[in-house]
Amino acid sequence: MTIYSPPDHLQIHLTGQAELDFLRQNGTPLEEINGCLESRRNLRKEWKRKLTNAQNYQRNKTKRLARAREAYVRRQLDGEKKEIMRQSQLRHQSTYRWVNRKKLATKERERRARKKSLLC
């Protein structure tokens, strides 16, 4: 994962008096300087957080992948459980169709009518 540095023209690494001088050089009005300083402080904070997260991601990559593999294996069902789940799903599906057969029949008739009207 690549973290790109912020554009150089922002100069977010500047702080204190150097930052104030940079803002004044770029023609920032005096009444907007406090807002700009706050915005730049938030930008620096966000950049540091992204950088730290990327470093942690790389440092813990092998551990995370190993845990993910273990969890994947743990969640896998054996053949018998898969068959039980499939039978349960089929039973629920047939029950739904039986309970809602009138509504489903109406929807099917409407679908066929729409299809027929589009073909004509």
Q: What is the pLDDT of residue 68?
A: 95
For residue range 2-43, what is the model confidence (pLDDT) as tens digits?
666 666 667 777 778 888 788 788 888 888 888 888 888 898
Environment class of 10 (CB within 10 Å of its CB; exposed 0-12, middle 13-18, buried 19+): middle
Tokens of 112: 């066929």
Q: What single-letter amino acid sits at 93? A: Q
3-class secondary-structure state, position 21: helix
| Per-domain residue ranges of the chain | 1-76, 79-120
Q: Residue 101 in contact with residue 109, Cβ under 8 Å? A: no
Handedness of CA 87, 93, 94, 99 (dihedral sign): positive
Q: What single-letter amino acid sits at 75? A: R
Q: What is the pLDDT of residue 12?
A: 73
For residue range 50-78, what is the model confidence (pLDDT) as tens digits?
999 999 999 999 999 999 999 998 888 88
